[in-house]
A = this chain, B = another copy of it.
Amino acid sequence: MARPTIDDVARIAGVSIATVSRTLSNPDVVSERSRKIVMDAINQTGYTQNVAAQNLRQQRSNAVLVLVPDIGNTYFSAILAGIERAASKARMTILIGDTAGSEDREEEFLRYLVNGRADGALLLNGHLPGSLRADLESGGSTVPLVSVSEALDAPGVPHVGINNVLAARQATEHLLSLGHKKIVHLAGPGSNILTRDRNSGYQAAMGDAGLTATILEGDFSIESGERAASVLLSMPMQPTAVFCASDEMAMGLISALYSQGIKVPDDLSVLGFDDIIFGSAYIPALSTIRQPRHMIGEVAMEKLVGLMGGGIKAASEAAPDATTLRGGYVTLLPTELVLRKSTQRLQPGV
């Protein structure tokens, strides 16, 4: 037999479909007696509501789109895990879109927001395609949107992430406090906001210390860390410490240096960023700046749910020490300097 519908249940229970519907969605308004009869009929038939019909009628999908540059990347997937947790707490489904750097795919996924597949979106890709941007700037019917980790340069889109300039400053100051003066920053791709923030944090700290800043551009990947090794070695003035904008780059760098006979931290201190799970098992164990990635995801999702009119206000509860700026638009979660073995005090001899 076919899937039971609400009509079947109503018939068996001897009530109207309205009562069945109410029993499920708003039990308080139906009498105890009916509730029981209906529930029995439901159990007997194995009825479950048809989501498509619900969505059509209610004009919402209870789903959110999550746009990621690369699901396979451990940095994003940890945030994803947080998002998933908060989503299922709010009984929301998440649709994941991997943009893989393609703007076409981006647009394609964002169409979910207009065709009713998703009610809102979490943007981890640091980019807002033209179509939506126009929609936003017109100020009209705004789609619930939250940018995560990587801020958008669009105004009015709530954001949750970390304070990158502060974190970079903290990182740099740690290296300074160890006596290093020739500190290079191996940065992310210059195009993104996150990189610009970290750069300025680094530059500010160096400036305050009266030192010159040197920035090498990378792309967060292991390979770009490896490539940086030879660049570093060919620099006129050899640095004694490198602050990397990702743990991946730090590892790539250390491993490439190692194969050239340069030892970390003895010959060079290296500080990472993110605190991915593999840092602690690395040799040397990686000193780094921890980003609370799981919580970033969780808070972002909660914020989105809030925007969509859900009743959850747990965001502040979940992230007790978050900094909130611009009237609640921007939530910055605290980072933490994690000291392990890849950084050490500048040795007099070197």
Q: Which residues in A have some Cβ–Cβ distance to B below 8 Å?
A: 3, 48-53, 55-56, 59, 61, 63, 70-74, 76-78, 80-81, 84-85, 88, 93-98, 100, 105, 108, 111-112, 114-117, 222, 225-226, 248, 251-252, 254-255, 258, 277-278, 280-283, 285, 294
Contacts and interface: CB of A to CB of B under 8 A. Distances in A.
Contact of A117 (B51, B70, B84, B105): B51
B88 A77 contact: no
Nearest to A294: B72
Contacts of A88: 97-98, 105, 108
- Work out how many copies of this chain go into the complex: 2
A225 B277 CA distance: 13
Contact of A71 (B81, B100, B254, B278): B81
A109 to B, nearest CB: 8
B116 A50 contact: yes
B98 A96 contact: no
B51 A53 contact: no
Contacts of A114: 3, 48
Contacts of A248: 278, 281
B98 A95 contact: no
A31 B326 CA distance: 55
Contact of A111 (B48, B84, B105): B48
B52 A281 contact: no
Contact of A51 (B93, B97, B116, B283): B116
Contacts of A252: 281
Contact of A98 (B81, B116, B282): B81
Contacts of A108: 88
Given A50-B116, A94-B96, 17 more contacts: A3-B114, A50-B56, A51-B55, A52-B55, A52-B56, A53-B56, A70-B81, A71-B81, A72-B78, A77-B77, A84-B98, A88-B105, A93-B95, A222-B278, A222-B280, A251-B282, A254-B281
B77 A71 contact: yes
A285 B252 CA distance: 11
Contacts of A281: 222, 225-226, 248, 251-252, 254-255
Scoring A59, A97, A258, A277 by chain B CB atoms within 10 A of each residue's CB, the highest score goes to A277
Nearest to A68: B84
A115 B71 contact: no
12 contacts: A50-B115, A51-B117, A52-B52, A52-B116, A53-B56, A72-B74, A74-B77, A85-B98, A88-B98, A222-B277, A251-B281, A251-B282
